[in-house]
Structure formats: C-alpha cells, structure tokens
Chain A
Amino acid sequence: MAKIKGAIVVDINGCKGCELCITACPTEVIFLSDDVNVKGYHYAYMANPDVCTGCSNCAIICPDGVITVYRKKIS
C-alpha cells in the first residue's frame, strides 16, 4: 500500500508561537519547543515526524507563513 510521508520546516525566528498550527494538525505532529527563538517566543517544531502526512493544514493556518511543507508518496 502506498504511504504518504510528509515533513515540515519551520522558520524558527519567524515563528511567534501562536499555537494555531498545533490544533490545525490532524495527526498531532507539531508541538511548541521548550527553547525560545531570538524574539523570545517558544517556536513550533515537528515533534512526531513519523506521522506527518504533509497535508499543509499547519502552513495554511500559519499567520506568518513560516512553515514549508514537503510530501512524498512512498510505494
């Protein structure tokens, strides 16, 4: 069965830690980091990379457009 695997890349210093991507993610991939970025915000990161499907929901809801999404079909 074909499997779809995705990955996101967060522009750490552009992230404002609003958490909207966390609730938008259907597979609970994203969480807020314990570390902070240059502006002092806890930034979003891919905590469970194995279950990401690359659906782009996080990138679509992100007000600052800091998320880049990659997706590949693995047969």
Chain B
Amino acid sequence: MAENAITTKELIKKENLVYQKTKLLTDDVMHYCPGCGHGTTHRLIAEIIEEMGIQSEIIGVAPVGCSVLMYNYMNIDMQEAAHGRAPAVATGIKRLLPEKYVFTYQGDGDLAAIGTAETIHACNRGENITIIFINNGIYGMTGGQMAPTTLVGMKSSTTPYGREVSQMGNPIKMTDLVANLPGTYFVSRQSVHTPGNVRKTKKAIRKAFEYQALNKGTCFVEVVSNCPSGWKMTPLESNKWLAENMLPFYPLGDMKVPEQ
C-alpha cells in the first residue's frame, strides 16, 4: 500500500478541487446565527447563478427580516424592498427589464404575513418572477414571535404555552395556496436540513430560474428551514425537530409542475 500513502498536504491542490465556495458570494461573513438555513439557501442561489452564467442578467429583491442584508452577501444586482412588498417591486423590475431574470427572497414574516396580498396577487397575475420563500415558522429577526406559519402547539415568545387554534387560528400553507392559482407555473416545497435535501433544493431552485426564461408564469419555491435561536435549540436539535414536526405539516415535494 506504499503507493497509496498520499498525505493530505499533497491532496490539497487545484487539480483535485471538487467543491469550493462560489465567487458569487462576497467575502463578508454572514450575520446569520450558527446553523441557520438562510446561509445554505444563499449559497445555493449563488451557485445556481454561477452555473447558469447569468450573473449580469439577474436582479434580486431582498426582503425585510433576517435576510434583509442579503445584498451584502451576493455579488449581483439587488434591490431592497419595503416590508412584504418584494413581489410588487420585482413585478416593476421585470416589466421594465423583461429580458432580465428577477427573483425575490422572502421569509415567512415578509411573504406570509405583511406581504400576503402582494404575494398572492403577483402569483395570480402570473408575473414572470421567481419567488424563494424561507419558512422557519417563526419571526426570527425580532425575537422568535409567532408567525402565520407557526405550527399548532409550537412554542414561541408570544405563544409560550404553544399556539392554540381557538385563539390564534390555524397556520397557513402559502405554497399550497399559490399552487392553486392559475398564474403559477412551477411550485415546489423543499428543505435544507440534510445534504440530500440541499441537493434537491438546488435542483428545484435551478428549475425555477430556468422556467422564468419561458415567460409562462410565476415560479415559487418554499424552503422549509430551521431557526435555532428562535426555537431555542442547538442547530442539530433544530434540524431534528424540523424533520419530526415541520415536515409532516409542510410535506416536501413539487406541488405544481409544468405539463409536458
């Protein structure tokens, strides 16, 4: 086995490189908490843009929420929108520059609470934009308050005894809702809690970008994510909790795929 004795130092060469952080992410250290799914999703979007070679052809719209500083991390053109208004801003950008790829990146407080009207109407009009929806079931940025997507019985800082349906109503499944609208072309729900799911999510987001070139309607991808700080768990516990509690209520898979 003498010929197999290759040291780690010898292995670390440019020709053996199989994976490195994409150049489309800036060198700024992301402000997200350790283990947060936002970082993974940012990286996936950047990788897809790099692979498709559309760095100068894409415009992103950042939301208000944890990912409000997204434009600092991505080396592409980005626009900040008022809280919840990202689909409306993206509509304007896409109509003025129809040859560009336009996407919004929104959390559940932005997309499913204050921006419900903008989201539903943009999807119903069939605007040719891509919407990436990060669902962690909580208002992460403001301190873990109950969101519209908080599960029944889930504890948050404003529901310390768990969400009660009689008082707080039912959680909303935005992805199922927009899948029923005629304006959407591709609707999918994915997660980023295991390497396999990250790969699937990457494929779904890539499809959502590619379908935008067809001008057939809105592409919507929900990413079920964790919030270790808001859920008061370690990153590993939060991913386990996500698999056991979030996924039964938010089942993964494609809700609406284009007819062949």
State the A residues within 8 Å of B (CB). 3, 5-7, 9, 14, 16-20, 23-24, 41, 46, 49, 54, 56-57, 59-72, 74
Contacts and interface: CB of A to CB of B under 8 A. Distances in A.
B28 to A, nearest CB: 10
Interface of B: 3-4, 6, 8, 11-13, 16-22, 25, 29-30, 32-40, 43, 192, 194-195, 198-199, 228, 234-236, 239
A9 B12 contact: yes
Contacts of A62: 39-40
A5 B13 CA distance: 13
B51 to A, nearest CB: 14
B13 A16 contact: no
Contacts of B17: 68-70
Chain B contact surface mostly: mixed
B236 to A, nearest CB: 6
| Interface hub of B18, B19, B33, B36 (most chain A Cβ within 10 A) | B19
| Interface hub of B21, B32, B33, B38 (most chain A Cβ within 10 A) | B21
A4 B22 CA distance: 24
A72 B11 contact: yes
A68 B21 CA distance: 7
Chain A contact surface mostly: mixed
B25 to A, nearest CB: 6
A72 B16 contact: yes
A67 B36 CA distance: 16
Contacts of B30: 63-64
22 contacts: A6-B18, A14-B29, A19-B35, A19-B234, A20-B236, A23-B236, A24-B194, A57-B195, A59-B19, A60-B198, A61-B192, A61-B195, A61-B198, A62-B40, A63-B39, A64-B32, A64-B39, A65-B25, A68-B20, A69-B20, A70-B11, A70-B17
A63 B19 contact: no
A70 B13 CA distance: 7
B40 A5 contact: no
A60 B11 contact: no
Contacts of A9: 12
Given A23-B236, A41-B34, A68-B17, A74 B39 contact: no
Contact of B3 (A41, A69, A74): A74
